Structure 1
Amino acid sequence: MSHPAPYPVRLADEITRQLSQLTDHLSQLPPPQAAQVIARVLAPDTGVLGGVTRLVSTGSVFAKDQAERGALPPEVWLALGRASNELHDITLALDEHQATLKHVGTQPPTTAAKPPAPAPLVVRRRR
C-alpha cells in the first residue's frame, strides 16, 4: 500500500495546479483584468514571482547544506543558486513596470474614436 504524499508535496502539487488554472484564465481575460493579474503575479514582495524566487533561494540554501554533507552533487547547489540570482534579477527588472501594469488595470474601457497606436516590439541594432 502506498503512503500518501506528505503535506508539503501535496501543497506544491496544488500550487502547480492553481498556477495552471491561473494561466488558463489569464489567456481569456480582457486586457485591463489581465494587466491586474499580471501586476499581482509580478509584485516583488507579495506576488507569485517573488514567492517562487524566495522558494528557489531557500532550495539553494538546502542544496548547499546537502552538498557540503555529500548528499547532493555541488552542481545542484550551483544551479539552484544561479537560478535564484537570475530570478531575483528578473524580479527587479520587472518591478519597474509595476506602476504601468497597475495603471492599465485600473483604466476604464476607452471609447475613443482613434485607438492607441501599436508600439514596435522589435528593436533593430545598427551593424
Structure 2
Amino acid sequence: MNYLVFLFGSLIVLSSAVVLIKPVAIFNLLKKHASSIWLHLSAVVVRIVLGAVLIAGASESKFTVVFQVLGWLSILAALMLAVIGRVRFQNLINWALELTPLFKSLAGLLGILFGGFLIYSVL
C-alpha cells in the first residue's frame, strides 16, 4: 500500500508544483472543463480512492491516526461533492478559479507540503 500512497503524494507534489510554476496551465484546463461531468466524477472518484488508500495504508505509515483521519475526510469530501450536484460543483470550480493569484499560490504550496508529507510518511 505504501507505493500507492507514495504515488498519490508524488502526483500531488507534481500538480501543485505546476500550480506554482505555471498556474495558467492548470486553471485554463479547469476552466475549459468546469461544466464537464467527467471533472465532477473525477473529483469524487479520486477523493474516494485517495481516502481508501490512506485508510488501508495507515498501519504501514509513520502517522497511523493522521492517515485514518485524512482518509475519512477525503471520503467525506467525495460524498459532499457527489451530493452537491453538478451545478453547485461548477459554481465551486468557478469560485476557485476567481481566487487571487496569492491564494492560488498558497494552494500550490500547501499541496506540495501535503504531498511531501504523504511521501515522507511512507518512506
Shorter-normalised TM range: 0.3 to 0.5
Q: TM-score, normalised by structure 1?
A: 0.42
Q: TM-score, normalised by structure 2?
A: 0.43
Structure with the greater relative contact order (CA < 8 A, sep ≥ 6): 1 or 2? 2
Structure number, greater radius of gyration: 1
